[in-house]
Amino acid sequence: MSKIKIIAATGCPTGIAHTFMAAEALSIAAKKLGVEIKVETHGQVGIENALSKEDIRQADGVIIAADKDVQAERFIGKPVVDVSVARGIREAEKLIQTIIDGKATVYKASKKQDDSSTDEEQSTSGSSIGRSIYKHLMNGVSHMLPFVVGGGVLIAISFLFGIYSADPTHESYNEFAAMLKDVGGIGFALMVPILAAYIAESIAKRPGLVVGFIGGMIAYNGGAGFLGGIVAGFLAGYIILLLGKLLQGLPKSLDGLKAIFLYPVIGIFLTGFIMTYLVNPMTAVNEAMMNFLSGFQDANPIVLGLIVGAMSAFDMGGPINKAAYVTGTALLAEGNFYFMAGVSAACITPPLVTAFAVLFFKKYFNQSERNAGLVNFILGATHITEGAIPFAAKNPIVVLPILMIASAISAILTYLFGVQVPAPHGGFLVLPVVTGAVKWLIAILAGSLVGAFLYGMAKKREANKKQEEQTIDAA
User: Which of 6, 12, 343, 406 is the catalytic position?
Assistant: 12
Which residue has better confidence, 407 or 394?
A: 407
Which pLDDT score is estimated for 248? 85
Provide CATH code, domain 5-106.
3.40.50.2300
pLDDT above 60: residue 96: yes
Q: Predicted confidence band at 116 (pLDDT cuts at 50, 70, 90)?
A: very low
Which pLDDT score is estimated for 26? 94
Which pLDDT score is estimated for 331? 76
- Residues listed for the chain: 475
Which pLDDT score is estimated for 58? 92
Instruction: Name the least confident of 101-115, 119-133, 217-231, 252-266.
Output: 119-133
Q: Highest mean pLDDT range out of 48-62, 145-159, 374-388?
A: 48-62
**Pairwise CA distance, residues 112 & 130, whole Å:** 24
Predicted TM-score (pTM) of this structure: 0.70
**Pairwise CA distance, residues 334 & 292, whole Å:** 13
**Pairwise CA distance, residues 9 & 376, whole Å:** 25
pLDDT above 90: residue 196: yes
Task: Supply the mean pLDDT for the chain.
Answer: 84
Side by side, the strands of the sheet bearing 36-43 are 46-48, 36-43, 5-11, 61-66, 79-83, 105-106
Q: What is the 3-state secondary structure (H, E, C) of 217-254?
A: HHHHHCCCHHHHHHHHHHHHHHHHHHHHHHCCCCCHHH
**Pairwise CA distance, residues 240 & 119, whole Å:** 9
pLDDT above 50: residue 120: no
User: What is the arithmetic mean of pLDDT over 155-179?
Assistant: 82
pLDDT above 80: residue 418: yes
**Pairwise CA distance, residues 145 & 150, whole Å:** 8
**Pairwise CA distance, residues 26 & 90, whole Å:** 10
**Pairwise CA distance, residues 109 & 434, whole Å:** 49
User: What is the arithmetic mean of pLDDT over 55-66?
Assistant: 92
Q: Where are the domains of the chain?
A: 5-106, 129-288, 300-469
Amino acid symbol at 445:
L
pLDDT above 60: residue 389: yes
Render pLDDT for 295-343 as a digit per residue (tens, 0 to 9): 666 668 888 889 888 888 887 766 677 777 777 777 776 777 888 899 8
Is residue 347 annotated as a catalytic residue, yes or no? no
Which pLDDT score is estimated for 121? 40
User: What is the arithmetic mean of pLDDT over 67-86?
Assistant: 87
Q: Predicted confidence band at 240 (pLDDT cuts at 50, 70, 90)?
A: very high
**Pairwise CA distance, residues 278 & 124, whole Å:** 33
Q: Predicted confidence band at 40 (pLDDT cuts at 50, 70, 90)?
A: very high
Which pLDDT score is estimated for 123? 40
pLDDT above 60: residue 66: yes
